[in-house]
Structure 1
Amino acid sequence: MADFPVPGLTHDSRKRIMNPIHMERHVKIICIGAGASGLLMAYKLQKHFQNFTLTIYEKNEAVSGTWFENRYPGCACDVPSHNYTWSFEPNLDWSAVYSSSKEIFAYFDGFAKKYQLHDYIKTKHQVVGANWIEETGGYEVKIENLQAGTVIDDKCDILINAGGILNNWRWPAIPGLDNYKGKLLHTANWDDSVDLAGKHVGLIGNGSSGIQVLPTIQPTVGKCTTFIREPTWVSPVQGLEQHVFSEEEKRDFANHPKKLLEYRKNVERGLNGQFGIFLKDSKINTETHAYMQSQMKEKLGDAYLEEKLIPNWSVGCRRLTPGVNYLESLRKPNVEVVYGEITGVSEKGPVCDNGNEYPVDVLICATGFDTGFKPRFPLINGAGTNLQDQWGKVAESYFGIAAAGFPNYMMFLGPNCPIGNGPVLCAIECQADYFCKLIDRYQTHNIKSFAPRADAIADFIAHKDFFMKDTVWKEPCRSWYKAAGDETVTALWPGSTVHYMEAMQELRLEDWDIKYDGNRYTWMGNGYSQCEIDPTADWAYYIRNRDDDAPLSLGARRRILTKSGTVKQQGGVSFTGASTGHNVKVEKDAARL
């Protein structure tokens, strides 16, 4: 079998012909970013694969991504701590229901250390460019060594972008910001050496970061002037209030794993059960709107603040934030609320559209990130197209994980995946599993390249846009869920997080443009099975006394996976809302949509 009637075969394919079916060729993978997604990808590859090389390039000096970068006062996740973990890796040491960013950093850093994931990671290295080389079927990648100030070259078969979207912080576009002579801070680039005690502090923004900063600094600053330009829903935390776990509670979780598991499951069920909030005119949306409106009025207790801060648009149009003690802080005697636009910044402080100047000692910009989905570096395909240009106006991906025309390129948390639909870490796990299935297919077949088909993406986008018309996300609120200067919802999945997980369970290879190295059946090899070359395997493994095959139908597999029949629920799913704290019911809105 030295000769084979297919011209142009690579050495890899010639080798495959000489070996049994499904030979596992070596795969070289580069991953961008060692945040939560990059660490999980390393864990999955290490657990499930052999014969691979992985290098993770991380621009920071440590892992954990946003949880390493964000250290501002009050920084925490707005998801209950015990549910901000990998599904398979609980943490017994959370100090509270909503733990600080330092604790979250320690969780992911500890995860990396526990599984020796640092072996794959090069810190202080930032990817600055990648080019697809059609002839070789791989990427040439340029990486800047941030410590040495040099640029190195690397190559890979598969490129995975785990850089995330909340990692490119920016100053607000306010004229004269450079004129300010006081101390200027950004929540995502915090200077721990700055002492706010007794100072007059200005705080710009009432998004997630601003909502966390204000109640944290209010007790220690001399005065805080908070600048708010638009209303937002602040979710009253009832049912899952902030609570510090006692040592006894921690021991109880440690000694009774089933108790911790049930706690985590109950919280997760509540988080998943809130998807109906995002469907316009659904019962849960209407009831939640009335409930949150009454709660915000009760906590604000001020007619002016109620008028300015309670939105007219629906709950969920922008990301919901628990807002522990935020609304109450707005009424404190040392807090001044200035509502309106900041037209400029003088040497002393912000100047607003009411004509007033507000001198402050320290100015904090809680103004977020560049949340566009374009890669942070030029990504060039074989036709010379840069994905930064292709996604210049509106980013369109396949299920939030891949782009048309860009072979062997996958991304975490890309356009239209469930970032704000419900729990996000389970969605990241789902994406990592999908990547592994693609990599397995690539490794065991003579595939040269794979990329989602343009027509598959077009159909997906059409379905997504149709679905979004009946969601609160399309309402006229300013949100990073939408494309800049456009009302197209680019950030969110057309369904719940659990819906996404089910959609992603199996590869839809009909949606992919797959190119082979030579004959598409070269992977069949020399006629022998892998079983037959393994002397420790049972060559008659299929002979048995009973039919114990795994289910062949999608529905049967789903019922086993979801443990159908183990939870007693009639007429829909009832639960206690994790954020709203009142009993709600998931309605069957699918027919309406």
Structure 2
Amino acid sequence: MSEVRESLAAERLKTIQQHLSLTSSISDVAANLNSSSITSEKYTPKAQPYEPFRPVKTIIVGTGISGVAAAVLLSKKVRNHTVKVYEKNSRVGGTWAINTYPGTRCDVPSHAYQLTFAPNTKWTEYYPKQSEIQEYYENIITDYGIRDKISFSHEVTKATWLPSSSQWEVQVTNLLTGETVVDQADFFVSAPGRLNSIHFPPIPGLSDFKGKLIHTAAWDHNYDYKGKKIAIIGNGASGQQILPNLVNDVAHIDHYVRSKVWISPTFRAELHEATSAAPGGPKFSAEQKKEWEQDPASYLKYRKALESGFHGTLAGSVKGSLQNQALRESIVKTMLKRLNGDEEWLARVLPNYAPGCKRLTPAPGYLESLLQPHVAYIPDAIVSATATGLVTADGKTREVDAIIAATGFKGGYVPRFPTIGIDGVDLRGKWGYESTPGYPETYFGVMAPSFPNYFFLLQAQGNGQGGTVPLQAETTATYIAKVIRKIQTQSYSSLNPTVEATRDFNAIVSSYFEDKVTTDTCNSWFKPVKQHIINSPTNSVDTTNLSSNAQRVAIAWPGTGHHRFDILRDPRWEDFHFGRRRDAGVNRYEYFGNGDTARETRFIAAKNKGKKDGEDVRWEGGGWQESFEDGGKNDVTPYLKEVGKVDLELLHEVWNE
């Protein structure tokens, strides 16, 4: 019987060899044909095992929350992957690295304002201080092996798509030496954030001011404000935080406001309220932190209950809805209480637009500080500055020792440096406010037509309405990883969304926000109109003369956070133009190789490690075990699980099995 089996095996081997010799005989001919002229039914790919994860490289700009999330996840979710990160600041954290003014803290709870894969039981307060957030991200880049991939004090000044090599060429300036270097990568990820490029108001004569001029995002900790007369320009988040933190130390404050703002009790109804006495909300006791550290299930339960409050429908965002009216009434009640019931003061600060048009802010202690006798609330526009103070539209000059610009950031949703795509198109001009359509026209808030292998995080249309910033960044980075793996594993060189798909998406966006409070009459960084205001010498602008596109909501996805997460879960490959690698120019399936896989080749090598000639290696012997210990990369049976641990929803769908 054994002789029969050996004879059959030999015959089968001969047949396979004959087949292989026939198919390989046409390979040289096929190599000289282009894909449109192939008529043969045979093609022999390269004679090597299929290795899905060819070497690729990605350059990331920025180490704020989104940049760190992208660096960690892309390093883990794409194999054989080099990740390089450039950061213009000297440390990690983005806005939390540069904003160090008195009272800087987040108005989102600490246990929700963290990466979902790196929960921290050691937060000290419900609403964390800037220093704690920045320290958290310092620990992340160390714990996840990202620090060595980052070049700090390196600013990207230009990025250009090279069609000849299907790569991005990135110019980078070393801010410490002034040296310019050029780097290249297959993929370019922009994560510079929106809240880190300082904006000083373009007030005529401001440079002539002889006192102290400072921006909240470039705080001088050596300057002594005690007993001084201070001007604070702006009542956004930084203005609201710094006023109550300086009010008891200075002699006088002139507080200049361009527009009125809603001061909500909390960011979400289910959260603890921060107060002037406890701006960080409740403190976490040592016992509580120890319990969470020792009982992960208890900590997870707390996190789920907390973060569930950030999800749900958006009925309250509809203009004129009962839910939005109820929100208005609740906020008015809170504001009146903080103003000690003073109806006249309430009338002075109450906005005339719907709550939610701008981002709601809790601002503990802000309204209370306005009541102080040495605080002047000034809604008049600033028209100029002198050597000693500021001049308003009513002709009045107010002298001060220091001017604090709590005036936010510039840049908006348009790249800060030339970003050159196909045919030399600069994305800054394409998305500029004087171009057509006059706003950032993105594909799903992640990509743009004519800019292959280019991605961005937390930019225009990149934020679902619900869910925290870290979660939004993680889901976007995961989507980017899926796109990179598509290019990496299937002989493609590039990918970019079609104009048609992009315009269809933006038509949905334009329609979705028509009845939402975000399109009300406020001036907000949610909209492109904000940039018109920033560029105005008077820091104000008549919005009635602007294109309707300038009032378009730029920040948000047309739906909830979960709506965005679900839709981005599976990329729509039919929405893209693909570029094919040169070695696949004849046959798109060149990557098939010789029919073996690199995984099996490595597995056999591990299995036979230490084997002597002629020796039979049993399944449990030799180097067999090593095939399971290399992160699963050589495991040929990853689909086998322990009894009772098979998840049928994920069976045979996990990308790295």
Give 1 or 2 for the bigger CA radius of gyration: 2
Give the AA of the match of 1:418: N
State how 1:71-82 maps to structure 2 within 5 Å: 71-82=100-111
Deviation of residue 252 (structure 1)? 3.0
State how 1:104-123 maps to structure 2 within 5 Å: 104-123=133-152
What is the TM-score normalised by the length of structure 2?
0.79
Match of residue 576 from structure 2: 512
Deviation of residue 549 (structure 1)? 6.7
Match of residue 389 from structure 1: 429
Is 1:103 matched up with 2:132? yes
State how 1:520-535 maps to structure 2 within 5 Å: 520-529=588-597, 532-533=600-601, 534-535=603-604
State how 1:191-270 maps to structure 2 within 5 Å: 191-237=220-266, 239-241=271-273, 242-270=281-309
Deviation of residue 421 (structure 1)? 4.8
Give the AA of the match of 2:483: L
Give the AA of the match of 2:563: H
Match of residue 277 from structure 1: 316
What is the TM-score normalised by the length of structure 1?
0.87
Deviation of residue 304 (structure 1)? 3.3
CA distance in 2, matches of 1:15, 1:154: 36
Deviation of residue 97 (structure 1)? 1.2
Of the candidates 467, 471, 492, which is equivalent to residue 516 of structure 2?
A: 471
User: CA 1:347/1:303 → structure 2, altered by over 3 Å: closer, same or farther?
Assistant: farther
8 Å CA contact retained: 1:198, 1:220? yes
CA distance in 2, matches of 1:167, 1:4: 57
CA distance in 2, matches of 1:142, 1:497: 35
CA distance in 2, matches of 1:417, 1:4: 48
Match of 1:495, SS? strand
8 Å CA contact retained: 2:465, 2:559? no
8 Å CA contact retained: 1:35, 1:162? yes
Is 1:5 matched up with 2:34? no
Deviation of residue 168 (structure 1)? 1.2
CA distance in 2, matches of 1:335, 1:477: 25
Match of residue 587 from structure 1: none
8 Å CA contact retained: 2:70, 2:473? no
CA distance in 1, matches of 2:207, 2:385: 8
State how 1:28-39 maps to structure 2 within 5 Å: 28-39=57-68
Match of 1:383, SS? helix
CA distance in 1, matches of 2:639, 2:296: 37
Instruction: State the superposition RMSD in angstroms.
Output: 2.6
8 Å CA contact retained: 2:75, 2:83? no
Give the AA of the match of 1:280: K
Unaligned stretches of 5+ in structure 1?
558-593
CA distance in 1, matches of 2:64, 2:44: 37
Give the AA of the match of 1:463: I
Match of residue 345 from structure 1: 385
Match of residue 404 from structure 2: 364
8 Å CA contact retained: 1:33, 1:59? yes
User: CA 1:59/1:311 → structure 2, altered by over 3 Å: closer, same or farther?
Assistant: same
State how 1:33-72 maps to structure 2 within 5 Å: 33-72=62-101
CA distance in 2, matches of 1:541, 1:52: 22
8 Å CA contact retained: 2:229, 2:400? yes
Match of 1:272, SS? coil
Is 1:433 matched up with 2:472? no
Is 1:310 matched up with 2:350? yes
Q: Which moved more, 1:540-549 or 1:523-532?
A: 540-549
Give the AA of the match of 1:81: S
CA distance in 2, matches of 1:318, 1:243: 27
8 Å CA contact retained: 1:413, 1:419? no
Per-residue deviation, residues 159-203 of structure 1 (Å, max 9, x unmatched) = 111111112111012222112111011011111111112222111
Deviation of residue 273 (structure 1)? 3.4
Deviation of residue 16 (structure 1)? 7.7
Is 1:142 matched up with 2:174? no
Give the AA of the match of 1:191: D
Match of 1:294, SS? helix
Give the AA of the match of 2:414: K
8 Å CA contact retained: 1:342, 1:350? yes
Q: Percent identity, please.
A: 36
User: CA 1:136/1:15 → structure 2, altered by over 3 Å: closer, same or farther?
Assistant: farther
User: CA 1:7/1:240 → structure 2, altered by over 3 Å: closer, same or farther?
Assistant: farther
Number of equivalent positions = 551
